[in-house]
Amino acid sequence: MTRIDAKFAELKAEGRKAFVAYIMAGDPDYDRSMEVLRGMPGAGVDIIELGLPFTDPMADGHTIQLAGQRALEAGQTLEKTLQMVRSFREEDDTTPIVLMGYYNPIYSRGVARFLEEAVEAGIDGLIIVDLPPEEDDELCLPAQAAGMNFIRLATPTTDDTRLPKVMQNTSGFVYYVSITGITGAAAADAADVAPEVARIKSTTNLPVIVGFGIRTPDTAKAIAGVADGCVVGSAIVAEIGAGKSKGDILSFVAALADGAHKG
């Protein structure tokens, strides 16, 4: 059982929905990013998604693209991202961390080496947005053999023919993308999301977490109310990009978490 599996079992026993929060590793620099990362569990975050900066983030909107650029310009690397997780684990050995990004940095490092280092650092799962199920031999199956969850995205365009293929080797949870397009492009609508979550849950026993387009505590509550939880990324990254203090950022995160937990 991974930390992700344990967290969802704990939440289910408590009758609570999950709040998942995303930040870009190294944004705006290593030290300030590390401060926010360390503060997230105390702000009510159940699972942390840690973005891996990449030069060509095709699935990300303007806000997260800029975060990646800031991180790269500040010298963030895959090695430094792994070090962030190692440092986090010195104080917190229970909060799940999912590394989210693109395959190129992992491929460049070498899959076997990366997986060994990621497990040692304390990463629990991967979301690699540019590896489809047809490429499961590349990273998904080796990652699961190494004891990590491989979390897949389902979208409004994932039809009933495609969905079983997407679910085939998914573990941990399913990330449902509430809107068509890039991150931060539109607002999520619980009325539109609910039937899609039900459709996915008819094919899997995994929790379904909804992301994209969630910016307020009320929206987090509404979306979590029709799913097993929600993810907020761009709204948090925008606070970081605006130069807010660690306290202000974590207060914003805490309000979102409170909304999700009431869902």
Q: Which residues contact 205 (CB under 8 A, 6 or more apart)?
A: none
Residue 245 reports pLDDT greater than 80? yes
Q: For residue 142, give Cα distances in angstroms to 131, 152, 205.
A: 13, 15, 22
Write down the mean pLDDT value for the chain: 94
Tens of pLDDT along 139-152?
A: 999 999 999 999 99
Give the per-residue pLDDT at 182: 52
Tens of pLDDT along 174-187?
A: 999 987 655 555 67
Give the per-residue pLDDT at 180: 64
Give the per-residue pLDDT at 185: 54
CATH ID of 3-261, from 3.50.50.60, 3.20.20.70, 3.40.50.300, 3.40.50.2300: 3.20.20.70
Q: pTM of the predicted model, to two decimals? A: 0.96
Q: Residue 252's pLDDT band (boundaries 50, 70, 90)?
A: very high
Domain boundaries, the chain: 3-261
Residue 99 reports pLDDT greater than 60? yes
Give the per-residue pLDDT at 181: 57
Catalytic annotation, residues: 49, 60
Residue 61 reports pLDDT greater than 90? no
Tens of pLDDT along 106-124?
A: 999 999 999 999 999 999 9
Tens of pLDDT along 215-230?
A: 999 999 999 999 999 9
Least confident of 91-95, 185-189, 240-244: 185-189
